[in-house]
Amino acid sequence: MTTTSTSPTTPGLAPMQAPERLSHLAYVTHDTEATVDFFTRIMQMPLIEAVMHERVPSTGDPYPYVHFFFRLQDGSTIAFFEAIGLPERSAPSHPAYLTFDHLALEVGTVAEVDAWKEWLVACGVEVLGPVDHSIIYSIYFHDPNGIRLEITTPLVADWNDRPAEAARIVGSFLGAKSDAREAGRPVQQVLREVIAANDRHDGSA
């Protein structure tokens, strides 16, 4: 994999390398029992670490809590906290947050994604997809906490190694935002024009 960096370096310091891999991604739960059942029984991810403290070590906040971890095959983990008495999380300001915020887990093949759909449905989990994104193939569902999960597999080997294309698209997006501001035009409209031009250029739909 190429490791081309477009980030500025700090004068006088050798640049750091990117972190090696995911250690844990942590969420709040209000139902440890349902969360343990879902991740161990349905996701087949073993519960492999847990701690319980009277206060939060990093901040000293006095919330007694349990913190527990489920492991993926590569050793990375998904973790949860349950702190008794914590009020429910506020609803997001727009439903798009419920779609865009998600956690994607990779499997080896399209057949495995399809097998996961069959398994999840048999376990009583509502599943959206499969969706062919041309670079990855995915299904979507939710854990008992409402966290949107994705099981996905790459359809092209270099899907996560296209730095030039990524820089071009992000630059195009940022350009559309600044062009719209300068022209006093609605950003969504300018962005739609840029996306349509891109689609004509690369032939995708």
Positions in the binding site for Fe ion (CB under 5 A): 104, 150
What is the C-alpha to C-alpha distance for residues 72 and 76, in angstroms, rounded to an integer?
A: 6
What is the C-alpha to C-alpha distance for residues 164 and 109, in angstroms, rounded to an integer?
A: 26
- Using Cβ positions, the residue closest to Fe ion within the complex turns out to be 104
What is the C-alpha to C-alpha distance for residues 35 and 137, in angstroms, rounded to an integer?
A: 26
Angle between helices 163-183 and 187-202 (to 10 degrees): 140
Q: Which is nearer to Fe ion, 125 or 151 (CB)?
A: 151
Minimum CB–partner distance for residue 67 and Fe ion (Å): 26
Q: Which is nearer to Fe ion, 104 or 111 (CB)?
A: 104
Residue 167 in tokens: 């820089």
Q: Which is nearer to Fe ion, 147 or 190 (CB)?
A: 147
Minimum CB–partner distance for residue 100 and Fe ion (Å): 9
Q: Which is nearer to Fe ion, 133 or 177 (CB)?
A: 133
Which residue from 44, 45, 62 is spatially nearest to 53, judged by alpha carbons?
A: 62
Minimum CB–partner distance for residue 152 and Fe ion (Å): 7
Minimum CB–partner distance for residue 135 and Fe ion (Å): 11
What is the C-alpha to C-alpha distance for residues 82 and 95, in angstroms, rounded to an integer?
A: 25
